[in-house]
Structure 1
C-alpha cells in the first residue's frame, strides 16, 4: 500500500456521517484541524499511515478493511452481484470500475443497490409496478436491513439506556420476574400468560386501554422473558426509539414501524444482556454460547444476535456476522459487526456447512472458510427451535455465526483448530458471481462469462468458463 497516494475522502466522510459527527468533532478526536479534515474528505490530501492508526484507535475500525473499502455499505462484491444480472451482464463492467464506484461514490452505489432491489421485488410481485409510487418497490426488510448495517448493528443511545435499566433488574435466577414487577410498579402494566386461543395469531399483545400485556403460553421460557424485555423497551425507551426512527427518515409508515420494532428488539436483547457485564462474561467464557445462555436466561439465537452488537468504542467484542435460515434455505436474518462475506441478494455458498447443522440438530458444526479474495473466517452453525411450535413443521431453523480467523483463538468452540495450518474450505458468494473455476458444487454458470464446455471431456465443475 502506497500511503502517499491513499485518498479515502468518501470513506472518511461516510464514517463521520455514520457516527453522526461534525467535521469539527471528528477533527478534534483525531487531533487535526477541521480545514485539514475537509481537505481529506474532498480528496485534496492523502490519508497518511499515522492518521489511519488514529482512525483505528478512535473508532475501532479495521485499517485494512477501511483502506480497501470495507467501510462502504454497498461494496464491490454487492455491485458485482448486481452487474452479473442478465439485464446488465453483456456490459462486461470490469471489477476495477465497480470498486471505484463503491469507494469513491458510495451514495451512488447505494442508489444502484436500492434500484436493483426494487427490480427484484417487481420480479416477485409484478402488481407493484403499476402502483405509480416507486417507494412501494423498496421492501421494508431491505430498507431496515441496510439501515442496521449502516450502523454496524450497534446503537450507543439504546445501549446506554438498556445497560442502566438491565443492570438494575439483574437477577441470578431470572430477569422475567424483575421485569414484570417493573412494568407493574413503574408503568401500571400487568403482564399475564394466557392460552394461544386468547391471542389468535399473535404471540404477545399489549392492550393499552386495560394496561394489560398478554404473553402466549406456547412461548418458550426464554422467549417469554424476551417478550417482557420487548414491552419494557417500548415503554421505557419510547422517546429514544421515536427519535431514532424520525432521524432515520424511513420512506413510509410501514417501514418506519418495522424499524421501530427492530430497534425495540435490539433494546430488549440489551436489557436482558447488559453490555458491560455481557462482554465481560463473553470474554471470560471465551464466547461459549451455552454458558452465556445459562447465565442470562437467553436462547441460542438471542445470544448469537447479541454477539453481533458488541461494537462499543473502547470496549469492543469479537466482530461476528450472523445468518439465520430455514430448512428450505430461506434467509430470514443477516447481521454483521463488520463485513458479511456472502451474497447480499442471493443465498449462501453450498460449501458452507450451515445446512449441515440440520443433520445433527442441537450440535455445533464448525468450519474454516476462505472467500475468493483470500479472507479466512471461522464459523459455527447449529439448529435452533422456533419460539412457538405449530405442529405443522419441525420448528427448526439454523443459525450461522462467524468471524475473521484472526479472532478465532478467542473462541471456546475453536479449540483444536491448527491456526498455522487449518483445514480450509474454499467458498464464494452466490454462484452467479463466484469466480471459482473448479467447483463441483456450482449450481449455475457465472453470469457474464463465456462457457468453455468440451463435449469430449467432462470437468469437475458442471459449468466450466473462460477466465480473464
Structure 2
C-alpha cells in the first residue's frame, strides 16, 4: 500500500555489507547520521522516500527489489503460510505479522524456509524431495535472470545475425560447421512421441515435423546452449547445491531453455523493442520470430543491472486450474506464488476465447493492483485425432508500473478493478457469489432462516 510505512532494515543492512561499508561510511555517503542508519537497519525507523532515492543514486540498488527481499517474501507471503489449517487456532492477525517482520526479520525468514520445506516435502533427513519445487525456488532466488547466460547469448545472437538474416538457418550452419552436428526434420511417425532428439551416433539433431518455426528455432538454440554455454550452466547447477539429481537435471534444462530464448530475443534489442512498442506481445512475437509463451516468459527475466524491464510475473494453467509454470521474477506477485487461483481472474476465461488476449485490472485483498494479460496457447501435437492440449498463460505487472503498456490504453489504472483472491481457501472476502469453500481458519456459520449471496457464511477469526 502506498501509505504503508516501509521497514526494510534487512535489505539496507545486506546492501551495506555487500558494499563492504561500515555503518559510519554508508551514513556518510547517504548524508545521514550513523545513529539514524542504525535505527533503519534495526527496523526502528521506516525507509523514507528521500532515503530510498539516495540509496538508488549512490548504490546499485533497485527499490523494486525491496519487496522481493523481505523476510519470507513479506507480509502477504507470511499470511498465506499462516492460512494453513495447522495454524487455524492461533488467530494471528495482520498487526502481529507486521510486528514480527519489523522486530524479528530473521525469525520470520527461518519460519518461511521451514514451512516451505515441510510443504514441498524437501527434508534434511534424507526423505524424498520435490524436484520441481526445488528448481522453482532456485530460479526465484535469481529473480529469473541469469546475467552470464544472457551476456553470452547476446554476443552469440549478434554474431549469428551478422552472418545471416535467418536465425534458424544461422544456428543450423553453426552447429554443422563448428560442432559437426546436422539437423534433420523427420516425419511424425518416425519421431513417435518425441519433438526433439539428439542422435549422438549419427551426430544429428532430429526434430519433429510438427514443430512450428519458432519451436524449431528454439530447439536448435537449445542444442547450441548445451554445447556453447556448458561451462556457465555447469557452474550455476553446481552452485545450486540440489539434494536431488532430477532437480539438477531439470534446472539444467531450464538454463538451456533460458539461453535459447536469449539467443532468439537478445536482451538489449528485446528490451528496446518492449519499451518502444509498449510491451505489445503480438508485435514482439512477429519481430523476434517467437511464440506467445516464449515472449511472455522472456518478460519475466528482464532484470539486468542498469537496464531493467518491467517486473512481470507468469502463470500457466490448464482448464482444471492446475499450474504447470509459475515465475514471479522481480514482481513478488502473490498471483504467481499462491497455490490457489480465483475463478474471477480472467486467465480462466481465456479458454472460452482461444487466441484472444484478455486484459483485466484486478485488486487483491492487500489492495495491491495488477494489470493482467491472459491468452491460450496450444502445444505441438502429433496429428489429427490426437488429444489436443491447451493451456492459458497469465502474465501481469503491478498497476503502478503498467502505464506505458499498449494493453493499458483506455484503462483507468486507478479506477474500478475486479476484486479477486488467491483461491477460496485463502480468500477472506465476504459475499462472493463465486465462493466454493469457506476460508481456512474461519468458522463456518449456518443460519437456517437466512441465505446470503454466498453459499458459505463465516464468522470471525
Q: TM-score, normalised by structure 2?
A: 0.87
* 1:401 matched to 2:392: no
Q: Deviations over 1:215-265 (max 9, x none)?
A: 111222211110011111111110011001111111121111111111111
Instruction: Give the superposed CA RMSD.
Output: 3.3
Asked whether the 8 Å contact 1:154–1:312 carries over to 2, the reply is: yes
Which of the numbers 338, 350, 362 marks the counterpart of 1:357?
Answer: 350
Query: 1:140 Cα deviation (Å)?
Result: 1.0
Q: CA distance change for structure 1 residues 385 and 338 in 2, over 3 Å: closer, same or farther? A: same
Rounded to whole Å, the distance in 1 between the matches of 2:223 and 2:277 is 30
Which of the numbers 246, 251, 264 marks the counterpart of 1:254?
Answer: 246
Rounded to whole Å, the distance in 1 between the matches of 2:158 and 2:99 is 46
Which of the numbers 164, 169, 173 marks the counterpart of 2:155?
Answer: 164
Rounded to whole Å, the distance in 1 between the matches of 2:405 and 2:207 is 35
Q: Deviations over 1:387-414 (max 9, x none)?
A: 3356433332111111111222211122
Query: 1:61 Cα deviation (Å)?
Result: 3.0
Q: Deviations over 1:28-48 (max 9, x none)?
A: 899479xx7996897398575
User: How many residues are aligned here?
Assistant: 448
Rounded to whole Å, the distance in 1 between the matches of 2:449 and 2:320 is 36
Q: CA distance change for structure 1 residues 331 and 7 in 2, over 3 Å: closer, same or farther? A: closer
Query: 1:136 Cα deviation (Å)?
Result: 4.5
Partner of 1:11: 11
Partner of 2:331: 338
Q: CA distance change for structure 1 residues 384 and 271 in 2, over 3 Å: closer, same or farther? A: same
Rounded to whole Å, the distance in 2 between the matches of 1:12 and 1:389 is 53
The alignment partner of 1:354 has SS state of coil
The alignment partner of 2:348 has SS state of helix
Partner of 1:411: 405
Query: 1:96 Cα deviation (Å)?
Result: 3.8
Q: CA distance change for structure 1 residues 46 and 83 in 2, over 3 Å: closer, same or farther? A: closer
Query: 1:335 Cα deviation (Å)?
Result: 1.1
Asked whether the 8 Å contact 1:101–1:109 carries over to 2, the reply is: no
Query: 1:72 Cα deviation (Å)?
Result: 4.2
* 1:440 matched to 2:442: no
Q: CA distance change for structure 1 residues 330 and 7 in 2, over 3 Å: closer, same or farther? A: closer
Partner of 1:139: 130
Query: 1:7 Cα deviation (Å)?
Result: 5.6
Asked whether the 8 Å contact 1:73–1:150 carries over to 2, the reply is: no
The alignment partner of 2:457 has SS state of coil
Rounded to whole Å, the distance in 2 between the matches of 1:72 and 1:417 is 34
Write out aligned runs for 1:361-380 (5 A). Answer: 361-380=354-373
Rounded to whole Å, the distance in 2 between the matches of 1:182 and 1:25 is 51
Rounded to whole Å, the distance in 2 between the matches of 1:141 and 1:16 is 34
Asked whether the 8 Å contact 1:364–1:382 carries over to 2, the reply is: yes
Partner of 1:125: none
Query: 1:320 Cα deviation (Å)?
Result: 0.9
Q: CA distance change for structure 1 residues 179 and 41 in 2, over 3 Å: closer, same or farther? A: farther
Rounded to whole Å, the distance in 1 between the matches of 2:319 and 2:62 is 35
Partner of 1:124: none
Asked whether the 8 Å contact 1:325–1:399 carries over to 2, the reply is: yes
Partner of 1:129: none
Query: 1:430 Cα deviation (Å)?
Result: 2.2
Query: 1:306 Cα deviation (Å)?
Result: 0.6
Q: TM-score, normalised by structure 1?
A: 0.85
Unmatched runs of 5 consecutive residues or more in structure 1: 122-131
Partner of 2:74: 75
Query: 1:442 Cα deviation (Å)?
Result: 1.4
Rounded to whole Å, the distance in 2 between the matches of 1:251 and 1:15 is 29
Q: CA distance change for structure 1 residues 341 and 6 in 2, over 3 Å: closer, same or farther? A: closer
Asked whether the 8 Å contact 1:74–1:102 carries over to 2, the reply is: no
Asked whether the 8 Å contact 1:190–1:213 carries over to 2, the reply is: yes
Rounded to whole Å, the distance in 2 between the matches of 1:362 and 1:319 is 24
* 1:217 matched to 2:218: no
Query: 1:94 Cα deviation (Å)?
Result: 3.1
Partner of 1:153: 144
Q: Deviations over 1:143-167 (max 9, x none)?
A: 1111111211111111111111112
Unmatched runs of 5 consecutive residues or more in structure 2: none
Q: Deviations over 1:26-84 (max 9, x none)?
A: 98899479xx7996897398575344324445445336x72x67644543333333332
The alignment partner of 1:380 has SS state of strand
Q: CA distance change for structure 1 residues 314 and 414 in 2, over 3 Å: closer, same or farther? A: same
Q: CA distance change for structure 1 residues 91 and 419 in 2, over 3 Å: closer, same or farther? A: closer
Partner of 2:443: 450
Q: CA distance change for structure 1 residues 23 and 245 in 2, over 3 Å: closer, same or farther? A: farther
Asked whether the 8 Å contact 1:7–1:43 carries over to 2, the reply is: no
Rounded to whole Å, the distance in 1 between the matches of 2:343 and 2:20 is 45
* 1:89 matched to 2:92: no
Query: 1:273 Cα deviation (Å)?
Result: 0.3
Asked whether the 8 Å contact 1:73–1:149 carries over to 2, the reply is: no
